[in-house]
Structure 1
């Protein structure tokens, strides 16, 4: 039986080195926020670009201002899911924040969507991401991670498609939409 998570967002503390994601937030809040996938005890994966085995892969680096825009919606979505399973909720702290591997995949989809888009489209990306089911987010991650899942691959393949699909074609949340009276 799986253990109950006690650290970060859904990562079990009593399992030996589980696969998870790490969100590194600097104490100054000025350096890029880094998202790393740590394969844990499941073993190293082959990095086809460098033809070596790796235990950790940097999936995304994002500007701190954009991180602050998505941090609360991510926290709320994750905590809602953790509460439904009666797990302890998490929060973003300075330093390393551990995130369950499936939640981390979902997080990467949102971060990939907003990392290079126009800043005024970030709320639309968040809104579109919230409208996806977890399985859809996992599928998008799987499609992008295979060929363009590293931090520097933001303008290639599925990563580019995720950005356009979740930000350009999405509608803004109600709080950002103008009304007929706003135009006068």
Structure 2
């Protein structure tokens, strides 16, 4: 695992990022893609940015700044990378921002998109590879605001990339996005609102392990919708 994010000029990384602008917000995610087809992809969340050194150092500890949020096997990353790129770039174009592409090394992602990416990664990290198309379809069926909500809930309870894998909310996210049936109606949405109702019930949710269920008093921290991030059916490939 990489202990620091990069030796590349940090402003070069900003220029080719997925919408990250330190002047807008220093909060961002780093997707580290190493050389080698067998090496894992690492995603970390960063709350600070230094104009000289860039992203804060990556940590495997409990400190929130630079914390690893997910580690994903390369074949699973390859299965979602292009879908995520197209989704993010479509929205970045609508926002009037430069689009991004995945490169070897560190890739900077604006905060809300980083949350959405990590949510999808959490859904597939321990899932059977055959269920990845289900996860992608259900993830695409969610509004960005719904993805943020799920990320916030999960990160608060079981958000450590290494220590919390397969527990509580992480397990619930996997169930919701991979085991829910995918509708054949392109207009209909996945059955995720039912997941929200069950998740908000805390330990009573039948798909949460009782010993790992999130506490009842967990703050939802629901974000306000952003009209610039509403999905449409455009495909900008």
TM range (shorter): 0.7 to 0.9
- How many equivalent residue pairs? 163
Matched, 1:159 2:170: yes
Distance (whole Å) between structure 1 residues aligned to residue 16 and residue 112 of structure 2: 15
Q: CA shift at 1:16, angstroms?
A: 8.7
Q: CA shift at 1:71, angstroms?
A: 0.2
Residue aligning to 2:16 = 7
Q: Where do residues 70-109 of structure 1 align in structure 2 (5 Å cutoff)?
A: 70-109=80-119
Residue aligning to 1:38 = 46
Instruction: Report if the CA contact (8 A) 2:16-2:101 is conserved.
Output: no
Residue aligning to 1:168 = 179
Distance (whole Å) between structure 2 residues aligned to residue 26 and residue 172 of structure 1: 36
Q: CA shift at 1:53, angstroms?
A: 4.3
Q: Which has the higher contact order (CA 8 A, sep 6+)?
A: 1
TM-score by length of 2: 0.64
Residue aligning to 2:35 = 27
Greater fraction strand: 1
Residue aligning to 1:181 = none
User: What secondary structure sits across from 1:96 in the alignment?
Assistant: strand
Greater fraction helix: 1
Instruction: Report if the CA contact (8 A) 1:124-1:173 is conserved.
Output: no
Cα RMSD, aligned residues only: 2.4
Write the deviation string for residues 64-110 of structure 1: whole angstroms up to 9, x where unpaired.
00000000010010000001111110000000000001000000110
Distance (whole Å) between structure 1 residues aligned to residue 128 and residue 184 of structure 2: 16
TM-score by length of 1: 0.81
Structure 1 residue ranges (4+ consecutive) displaced by more than 3 angstroms after TM superposition: none
Distance 1:114 1:54, change over 3 A: closer
